[in-house]
Amino acid sequence: MKPDARPACSSGRAVRPDGTGPIHLPLSCFVHRGPCGRGQTGKIPLLVLAGPTAAGKTAMAVRVAEAVGGEIISADAFQIYRGMAVGTAQPTAQERARARFHLVAELEPTAPFTVADFQSRAARAIEEVWQRGNLPVLCGGTGLYLRALLRHFAIPATRDPLQAEIRRRLQAEAQEQGLPALYRRLREIDPTAAARIAPQDERRIVRALEVWELTGRRFSEASGVDRSAGARYNAAAYVLTCPRELLHQRIASRVQAMLASGWLEEVQALRERGLAPDSQAMQALGYAALWEVLEGRTSLPDAEERIKRETRQYAKRQLTWLRREYGFTWMTWSSPVEYECFAGHLLCVGEHLKAAALGQGKQA
């Protein structure tokens, strides 16, 4: 395929995140732009597909991976957990038969999983996929995960024997003294980190204080960009989304389908296994609402509406985060025809990324 080739359907609209106008999609520009690679020899090719929940990312990633010989690395905060296939919208058996997935259903829901854990697991998976001669496709909507991997954040992945003890003590203090007390302490120690962390985000507040106690370094300083790493990937990065009204319709339909597929029964099974409602895995969207249904504190119809509302709010936060990122091309589809156009374009990009890297390898 020639470097400037385009998909047969090239009339789809790639819209700028600020809505000021369309972005045209000449293929040759994407292998040389992006947050983490500039077409340099020896860089691993990487196709990145980000976007809000329910925008159709997984289905498109499967099509690309199946067509070009790729494997998919999930960039989702909760798909890593086993026993949560319905509520976290893990790929179906049919999708997993068409493409190999990584960082999906690999951990028990009782296990902690940090940004540093994701960063190391995803980087290892990407390298192994490419060593097999397949194209790595990073797909997901957890913005911090994407930023940590693509910008090479130097996140402290502490494994000191005291870590678990310190974490338990801080969590106990949050229960006894109240989370605002811990947040005030963080604000005194590390005002920069406190400004970036919501006052009600117990997990991140505890993590920031934990790093301070273990390393003596402020979390905001310990998690900067790892400038020594250099660009690891030759990446083409995209955001897939759709207009607000359509996205909300897709969210509503998705929540209904998930409930019909046994989401409430999934939460019941997790309760029976002894999982606590305040555990990290249970912070995934919708699980708290369904937990309350099982405890008799709310009705299923009310929980369903709450989940839809919280999912819409989450999608809005995802889009806000992604608008602040650089190097992403936005693809906004509003019809099946436009979705197909973008899918065709990504097939071309994936083929070109892979062919360019293989060609460089032969020349080297």
DSSP string, 76-141: -SSTTBTT-TTTTTPPPHHHHHHSEEESSS-B-TTS---HHHHHHHHHHHHHHHHHTT-EEEEEE-
Poorest-pLDDT segment among 104-108, 206-210, 263-267, 268-272: 206-210
Percentages (nearest 5) of helix, strand, coil residues in the chain: 50, 10, 35
pLDDT band for 157, please (50, 70, 90 cuts). Answer: low
| Coil/strand/helix, residue 161 | coil
Residue 52 to residues 19, 90, 138, 139, 264, Cα–Cα distance (Å): 16, 15, 14, 11, 23
State residue 257's pLDDT score: 98
Which pair of tokens denotes residue 116? 């540093």
Poorest-pLDDT segment among 42-51, 165-174, 193-202, 220-229: 220-229
Tell which residue, 29, 20, 14, has the closest CA to residue 234.
29
State residue 224's pLDDT score: 54
Arithmetic mean of pLDDT, 125-138: 97
- Are the CB atoms for 53 and 311 separated by under 8 Å? yes
The C-alpha atoms of residue 332 and residue 340 are separated, in whole angstroms, by: 12
Q: Is the pLDDT of residue 135 over 70?
A: yes
More reliable by pLDDT, 264 or 1: 264
Q: Is the pLDDT of residue 362 over 60?
A: no
The C-alpha atoms of residue 240 and residue 110 are separated, in whole angstroms, by: 32
Q: Is the pLDDT of residue 16 over 90?
A: no
Show the domains of the chain with their CATH numbers. 14-153+230-243+327-363 (3.40.50.300), 163-222 (1.10.20.140), 248-315 (1.10.287.890)
pLDDT band for 124, please (50, 70, 90 cuts). Answer: very high
- Are the CB atoms for 113 and 186 separated by under 8 Å? no
Arithmetic mean of pLDDT, 243-252: 98
Residue 98 to residues 57, 92, 211, 237, 261, Cα–Cα distance (Å): 15, 10, 41, 22, 21
Q: How far is CA 187 from its chain centroid?
A: 28
Name the residue type at position 276. Answer: A
Average confidence score pLDDT of the chain: 84
Sign of the CA dihedral 28, 346, 321, 233?
negative
